[in-house]
Structure 1
């Protein structure tokens, strides 16, 4: 057979035993693909510490349903955080959004109550709160504490800004007229503005209560305030007494205002009274120069006109350049006050400020003066009182000091009483007390002597009154009066005696009439009865020249 022809051989069949590893490999590959296909995403959590977290055991839950499990726990590269990896179930993948939040559920005792007691037996676990964002995310930072409110809860989130010390903490209640309607979600200090910023959540439907005229203030549990109008004691609910909180409302007499949107910023006031103070844009500052002590007069004290507040005190004392308090050139204490005309006139605006200053100048000329009055005798707090004193010397108007107008002042309260007492004592010191006392002593001696004589006369009158003859006087006087009455009856107009008496009187009148010329002559010349009176010639008229 030629060598260039191929040799044909019949191949042997594959052994059936190889089918077993092939099937096993196929099944294994299918299981791997199925496992990878059904396996959820792997997420990474950054935490401050791994307290209560165990790899392979600690579950991840939402609404008490397990949706994942912790795989590994390791220390971060910065050695300050813990990195936790967890495998999530496939059905949990839609929950992993940019605003999804994680935190560790364990026993906690906080202001909002006790939570996580069920983990005492089952152990701690990670809670997932789903977000609403459309952006997918696999790396998260776990919260130190559970969130106060759910992300998707209906309501309103607002911001509060305060220059006071940190007085609120996360979880504190937000109250409206004593009823809890929300919580404080965040508390953060801004170093650039040096203010405390708070985020509040007010749940629906109470979010409609927040308007543009709403005011927020702190609840300080039991608050005792001693002001010029007395001592005030305010108490809140048991929760606010223990942990504080924040309240809000629209001040009485204000309009409700318009609804607000999310992230609206409000100021946080120290108390309800300060929150109700209306902020007036139009105001005028004046300086008061007091001779009295200003101890007890503090910034914020009211400036009143006959009991109505028209302003407040700004600075005590107000240091004016070149006007030292202890120099001989100025012995008065300057106090800066602010008058707000809007408290008196609702339609006040900036265009009317010059007219207001002119009216104030006219009022000063009519006797308007400022004085210090005691608002609280217990605390010694003072306030500034404006009133008219027409009996005082008139003023030319407003003065000037350091580009401010000055208002004339008068001593007020105890200082004025003290001044009047001093004036009275000065007048008493000017009196001649010794001479007055000497005269008073002499008068007293004479009075004593006169009283002794009066007692003697009284004793004599007593003796006379006790005599029998004195006691008979009334009877004898009665008889005498009876005789006089009989005599007068005999001289009646129709009696003969009355007619005879009348004729005698007429004759006597004629005699007296005739005797009058002789009596006149004797009066002028007493020797007329012995010598013949001189004959006087008739007067001769003067002849014409």
Structure 2
């Protein structure tokens, strides 16, 4: 029998020393994790955008980690924290923007909180009712960068880069204007008010107006701006005129502008050119003269109804306006007068009907011309301009019969002589008539009339006591006679019958005479011989 095989022989183990720096596979996982984390950290640092701080008056609508910053409705950042300022006067929002937004953080970049607003007749931010408020951003054009900003309390009217130009308007007050109020040109809305501020001296308001392209080219150096916030009603010889720009302008206010036809060829106005904002179109479109002379008209009439700005009229043409009204006491005559200071525009006396004619003075020596006109009877007179309102104006005209007068050029301003107004002349005439009536001896005439009336009364009494009874008796006798005559003239009265018989007898007698006459005509000898029948 064979022996069973034994276990195989194992090789002898040889001990090998372990390497000190040999890395085991188990460490690969944490190493890879560290590398990935480092790469992500480096990438986060490389891709991290700029951080800005924005100050707001209130933290309404701001929430850390949720409130977005949007530019043209694209997310460009998020608010990281919202804290109070050190003086507790504002809220400071720290926001982190995307890396690409670094070039947008310029000195004139603007930020504002977009929330529902109603201003200037426009409604904005309605979408935030569902999505929540966010911070709007508008990139500026400055070359200087910035990292801390003061947020706007209201969104800008227009974004940067919108074609157009901005102009500055000076006004006495705001009227009914507000940021966003429309600006009209020939009843088209072409711009809006962007901002306003009270002047440092408190005597006016400065407004900034933006006119969109291409309408901004119609703003020239002589363009006139005026308030178009209401209804302009005027009454003239053509009836009642009502002018307004639009219903929007009536409700929320607005402006309008236009360039006078005679200056429409001027060049376009430069950016931020200053203009005066007038109260209405009539005031704005008034002719603005370059030459202005100041004179004084000294009136003895009442100037009730004469206001500052009232026209100075020369035969229907407005050649000036009233600048001031004063009172003056003459120590010599102990009388008051009303000096009215006026501004005259010599250019309006210049003939302009010829093509290419330019304005200016009528004469190179205005003093000599004025003295000559006054010598010819040029005078100032108060006249009624409107019978309904009683408004007065100053009329310049020639009065050849006026008393001689001159101009004292040493006075400042010089004085042009005046004549009484039409109403004053009427009052003087009435006063003169009353004075003449006062000279009539109405008392003596009354006494004589009273004496005459007494004598007449005595005569009437005598007539009643003496003459009237006799006249009554005479009238009674006459009445009796008339009654008797009436009875005698009745057809059946004796007088009427006797009269009829007498008439018949007279008729027969007349017939006998006629027969006798005929016979004598045939026998004239019968007057001597008698009738032949009687002789037989």
Q: Mark the CA change 1:127 to 1:119 in structure 2 (over 3 Å): closer, same or farther.
A: same
Q: How does 1:499-538 map to 2 (within 5 A)?
A: none
Q: Mark the CA change 1:353 to 1:72 in structure 2 (over 3 Å): closer, same or farther.
A: farther
TM-score (norm: length of structure 1): 0.72
1:400 & 1:250 partners in 2: Cα distance?
Answer: 38
Counterpart position of 2:377? 367
Counterpart position of 2:48? 39
Instruction: Tell me whether 166-175 or 115-124 shows the greater mean CA deviation.
Output: 166-175
> Do structure 1's residue 209 and structure 2's residue 218 form an aligned pair?
yes
Q: Secondary structure at the match of 1:398?
A: coil
Cα distance, 1:210 vs. partner?
0.6
Counterpart position of 1:315? 324
Counterpart position of 1:11? 19
Tell me the alpha carbon deviations over residues 18-40 of structure 1, each in whole angstroms, 9 at most, x when there is no partner. Answer: 22222211111111111222222
> Do structure 1's residue 92 and structure 2's residue 101 form an aligned pair?
yes
Tell me the alpha carbon deviations over residues 421-458 of structure 1, each in whole angstroms, 9 at most, x when there is no partner. Answer: 222333344456777998xx99xx9xxxxxxxxxxxxx
TM-score (norm: length of structure 2): 0.73
Counterpart position of 2:398? 388
Cα distance, 1:378 vs. partner?
2.1
The structure 2 residue matched to 1:263, chosen from 272, 280, 283, is 272
Q: Secondary structure at the match of 1:332?
A: strand
Tell me the alpha carbon deviations over residues 38-60 of structure 1, each in whole angstroms, 9 at most, x when there is no partner. Answer: 22222211111110111111111
Task: Give the unaligned 5+ runs of structure 1.
Answer: 1-7, 446-545
Instruction: Tell me whether 230-239 or 80-89 shows the greater mean CA deviation.
Output: 230-239
The structure 2 residue matched to 1:329, chosen from 314, 327, 334, is 334
1:114 & 1:327 partners in 2: Cα distance?
Answer: 70
The structure 1 residue matched to 2:349, chosen from 323, 341, 344, is 344
Instruction: Tell me whether 219-228 or 19-28 shows the greater mean CA deviation.
Output: 219-228
Cα distance, 1:74 vs. partner?
0.4
Q: How does 1:49-448 map to 2 (within 5 A)?
A: 49-164=58-173, 168-192=177-201, 194-224=203-233, 233-317=242-326, 323-324=328-329, 328-345=333-350, 347-349=358-360, 355-393=365-403, 395-399=404-408, 402-431=411-440
Q: Mark the CA change 1:269 to 1:177 in structure 2 (over 3 Å): closer, same or farther.
A: same
Cα distance, 1:231 vs. partner?
7.7
Cα distance, 1:329 vs. partner?
3.5
2:238 & 2:385 partners in 1: Cα distance?
Answer: 6
Q: Is the 8 A contact 1:229 1:375 kept in 2?
A: no
Q: Secondary structure at the match of 2:372?
A: helix
Tell me the alpha carbon deviations over residues 190-245 of structure 1, each in whole angstroms, 9 at most, x when there is no partner. Answer: 21584311111100110111111211111231245689999865433111111211
Q: Is the 8 A contact 1:362 1:397 kept in 2?
A: no
Q: Mark the CA change 1:297 to 1:223 in structure 2 (over 3 Å): closer, same or farther.
A: same
RMSD (CA atoms): 3.0
Q: Mark the CA change 1:154 to 1:161 in structure 2 (over 3 Å): closer, same or farther.
A: same
Q: Mark the CA change 1:312 to 1:231 in structure 2 (over 3 Å): closer, same or farther.
A: farther
Cα distance, 1:266 vs. partner?
1.2
Q: Secondary structure at the match of 1:267?
A: strand
Cα distance, 1:173 vs. partner?
0.8
Tell me the alpha carbon deviations over residues 115-169 of structure 1, each in whole angstroms, 9 at most, x when there is no partner. Answer: 2111111111111222333433322221111110111000111111223456532
Instruction: Tell me whether 8-17 or 35-44 shows the greater mean CA deviation.
Output: 8-17
2:343 & 2:201 partners in 1: Cα distance?
Answer: 30
Task: Give the unaligned 5+ runs of structure 2.
Answer: 1-15, 353-357, 457-536
Q: Mark the CA change 1:128 to 1:255 in structure 2 (over 3 Å): closer, same or farther.
A: closer
Counterpart position of 1:537? none
Cα distance, 1:67 vs. partner?
1.9
Tell me the alpha carbon deviations over residues 494-520 of structure 1, each in whole angstroms, 9 at most, x when there is no partner. Answer: xxxxxxxxxxxxxxxxxxxxxxxxxxx
Q: Secondary structure at the match of 2:430?
A: helix
Tell me the alpha carbon deviations over residues 283-322 of structure 1, each in whole angstroms, 9 at most, x when there is no partner. Answer: 32222111111111111111111111111111111x6xxx
Q: Secondary structure at the match of 2:97?
A: strand
Q: Secondary structure at the match of 1:426?
A: helix
Q: Is the 8 A contact 1:186 1:200 kept in 2?
A: yes
Q: Secondary structure at the match of 1:40?
A: coil
Q: Is the 8 A contact 1:222 1:233 kept in 2?
A: yes
How many residue pairs align between the two structures?
A: 428
Q: Is the 8 A contact 2:119 2:179 kept in 1?
A: no
Tell me the alpha carbon deviations over residues 341-373 of structure 1, each in whole angstroms, 9 at most, x when there is no partner. Answer: 1111154547x6662332221222222221111
Q: Is the 8 A contact 1:95 1:130 kept in 2?
A: yes
Cα distance, 1:84 vs. partner?
0.6
Q: Is the 8 A contact 2:120 2:178 kept in 1?
A: no
